[in-house]
A and B are shown apart, each in its own frame.
Chain A
Amino acid sequence: MKLPMQTVAGALALPVSTIERWIRQGRIPIQRSGADVAFSHAALEKWAATHNLSFSLGGDQADDHIPETLGSLVSAMSRGKVYHRVAGEDAATALRSAVDCIDFLSEDIQDELFEKMMERERLASTGIGNGIAIPHTRDPLPRPPETPVITTCFLEKPVNFNAIDDQPVFVLFLLISPTVKHHLHLLSRLSYCIRDRAFVAFLSAHPDAVALYSRIAEFEKQLDDI
């Protein structure tokens, strides 16, 4: 297989000018055809091996596009659905009934999720103030969903969640992510929305799913525009 100079430079992780100098100095095996320089894949690989140089073609682009695959809040929320009038007397019972709402999880996993979320609550409350809590596990579940999910639960009546501002919590955003990276991405987006006072007021009216999604979509548009 013949390779162009650009590809060879990329495969060796070197600038093209270095490859050009090596050609001039006769340090790299080449095949000339007329005025053009071509590299034979097999010969180059052999040469790189004898010099202990790493030589790999392509496959490095995946890293650059991660922000796009992390997904948006709206998609995560629509996967998790919105529930109203979720019952509960205190943090534990409210969280238990919220977890029970998540219908795509089997009962075992719901139990596990609840245990882990309570564990996280014992470390520090996820009640971040203004009556909002974002319960989540410290580490991703052993068998997490492939895409992140946010289940929104408006509580029947506000409960004491040991929130940082000691206000009773009226809405829970249960955040379940496949990786920590997804988790941080969504958490940062969500906290951007919650910082907005008008949004908090909007939430306190227990809006329906469609209204919530469109409001969130507006925020995400702002975030993407910056």
Chain B
Amino acid sequence: MTRLLEKLKYPGRWSLFRSDDRLLLMIFAIIVGICSGLAALFLNRSLETMLEWLHHYRVYWWAIFLPAAGAALSSLFLEKIVNEGAGHGVPEVIYAVSRYGGLLRLRSGFSRLISSCLTIGSGGSAGPEAPVVMSGAAIGSNIAQAFSLNDRQRVALVGCGAAGAIAAIFNAPISGMVFAIEVILGEWSTMNIIPIAIAAVAGTEVSRLLKGNQIVFAHRDFNIHFHDILACVGLAIFCAAASILLTRALRSMHHVSKGVAVPLWVRAAIGGSMVGAIGYFLPYVLGEGYHAIRTAIEGGFSGGLMLVAVIALVKILATALTLGWGGSGGIFAPCLVIGAFVGLSFHRFLATVWSSVPWVNEGCFALLGMAGLISGILQAPLTGIFLVIEITGGYEVILPLIVVSAISTTLCHYLEPASFYLKDLVKRGQLLRPGTDARVLTDLSIQELLETDCICVHPNMRLADFIHIVKSSRRNYFPVEDQQSRQFVGMIHLDDIRPYLFDPAMHHAVLTGQLMNTHVKTVSLHDDLAEVLQKMDDGHIFSMPVVSDNRFQGMISKATLLDQYRKELMVQTDRY
């Protein structure tokens, strides 16, 4: 019995999967896809219930404090109970994938679900997608850990979790797959694509079984003409502007809220009550906003140009207030809402200025605006394109969609070089995509590069004895250690003794202690390799002694590094 359990725990050792783990990954992908799909549905369902339940109280004046209570509770929950940081979690997943082989905590599987449910359900302006991505990823990671899979397999399952979650929440398998690969893993390899595609299908299937196969935002047929595509260029510019505005608003809100010296949950409550106050007058901006999008796409929105533009701007403000002040949730759904309203206002603007032109239905522009915003904020054009196609079931808009996505991504890239998910990682130097210099340097450790063939000498040695050691050594560097304590005191390079080498009179008169260089730059075993290289470049040196606890450990040199770096790169960029 125990042997059977043991066998079940290590499926990687079964003879069936031993030669090739693709089959193993495919089976696990189904499990992970189903689990993350269920998590996504759970959040979706509880949000709907909560919004419905609280809907009756929206008429009362004190409803403006509901988002405050929700945000404060979610902040308290994250800080005190599960001890996790606020924020949407996607950067954490990306970092875990690139640095720790996708290792995520089990509690991450549900913490963001609950906190974002509190924030959004009470009316905070945020999206449920990033939290489900986080929990899907954590589910994948923990399943991989439970079965002792290796890092590469675990990363694939983390991607599977993210794909399954997005696929389930939007009933959109391709978006889930593209999102996981484009944003989470950042690496297109068949090794990953196949299990992720399977997980996306599994997640979608779970959602279809439990919720029915419905297109999230159905719309009427569009009849798109050439002038509509031309107008898309203008729309893309507006979308890019809105994306930049949202990114900047979020960032400045973070700065403002950091300046307020109150506990985190009070901070979240302050932001929440401001959102509540706004929502009292403009209820469209509350919650994740799927309902508002639906109205906009169906063309059932009656407000004029001014009102629509104001809603887009206020939604940006409300999102910044919710997330910037410590509420929990993602940026996906607010982006869709803002995009839809930017699209609507652009359509109204066109209809006012060139009223004689037969413009396509306003729903189409709302839809294009959504793609523009997603592409601009995430700087992931493929995710934007596929998501909008799938959630609206509108393949006929593909041409203007690509135009809007491409232009919006490009424009945003000029002003904000890193996407919303990646900018914090880039700032901290933690964006380590596979096969990049940063990644190779992070994976290699100084321990692996250590050259231990140096001969240690002690400071009281005569030059004659030292020259004899030089004869038997293959290196030009000689570390000097104290005879008793074995502590590192300095280095001698062959160049240091060259002037006295051919002067026999000096051979017995000079001690190594007098020749050694005591002001050597050293590195320690746990130093960051990128910093070590920087030190070498700054000092124009090719090798440095590695000293830990005052003991000489070995040398590290650029020659060995190049050798190892190349091997590492060859193994990392595998396509087998």
Q: Which residues of A contact B (CB under 8 A)?
A: 12-15, 17-18, 21-28, 31-32, 43, 47, 50-53, 226
Contacts and interface: CB of A to CB of B under 8 A. Distances in A.
B151 A26 contact: yes
A27 B574 contact: yes
A13 B576 CA distance: 22
Contacts, number: 56
Interface string B445-480: 101101000000000000000001000000000000
Nearest to B575: A50
Given A21-B448, A51-B574, A26 B152 contact: yes
A32 B443 CA distance: 24
Contact of A25 (B13, B19, B152, B450): B152
Contact of B443 (A12, A21, A47, A51): A21
Nearest to B572: A27
B570 A53 contact: yes
Nearest to A50: B576
Contacts of B443: 21, 25
A23 B445 CA distance: 15
B12 A32 contact: yes
Interface of B: 10, 12-13, 18-19, 21, 101, 149-153, 443-445, 447-448, 450, 468, 563-564, 567-568, 570-572, 574, 576
A83 B95 CA distance: 81
15 contacts: A12-B567, A14-B564, A14-B567, A17-B447, A17-B448, A21-B445, A24-B151, A25-B150, A25-B151, A26-B153, A27-B152, A31-B18, A43-B19, A50-B576, A53-B571
A27 B571 contact: yes
A43 B18 CA distance: 11
Which 6 A-B residue pairings sit nearest by Cβ, starting from the closest? Answer: A26-B150, A26-B152, A25-B151, A18-B448, A32-B13, A51-B570
Contacts of B570: 51-53
B101 A25 contact: yes
A195 to B, nearest CB: 12
Contacts of A15: 447-448, 450
Contact of A18 (B21, B564, B574): B564
Contacts of B448: 14-15, 17-18, 21
A56 B130 CA distance: 48
A53 B573 CA distance: 13
A51 B571 contact: yes
Given A14-B564, A15-B448, A17-B445, 7 more contacts: A13-B563, A15-B447, A18-B448, A23-B150, A27-B574, A50-B576, A53-B571
B468 A226 contact: yes
Nearest to A28: B571
B11 to A, nearest CB: 11
A52 B573 CA distance: 11
A186 to B, nearest CB: 17
Given A17-B445, A21-B443, A26-B151, A32 B574 contact: no
Nearest to A18: B448
With most chain A CB atoms within 10 A of its CB, the pick from B12, B149, B448, B564 is B448
A75 B152 CA distance: 61
Contacts of A14: 448, 564, 567
A163 to B, nearest CB: 23
Nearest to A16: B448
Contacts of B150: 23-26
A26 B21 CA distance: 10
A157 B258 CA distance: 102
A27 B447 CA distance: 19
A47 B567 CA distance: 13
A35 to B, nearest CB: 10
A49 B150 CA distance: 22
A43 B570 CA distance: 17
Nearest to B101: A25
With most chain A CB atoms within 10 A of its CB, the pick from B21, B150, B563 is B150
B155 to A, nearest CB: 9
Contacts of B13: 32
B113 to A, nearest CB: 29
A50 B573 CA distance: 11
Nearest to B6: A34
Nearest to B571: A27
B259 to A, nearest CB: 42
A43 B571 CA distance: 15
A117 B41 CA distance: 94
Contacts of B10: 32
A22 B571 contact: yes
A41 B35 CA distance: 39
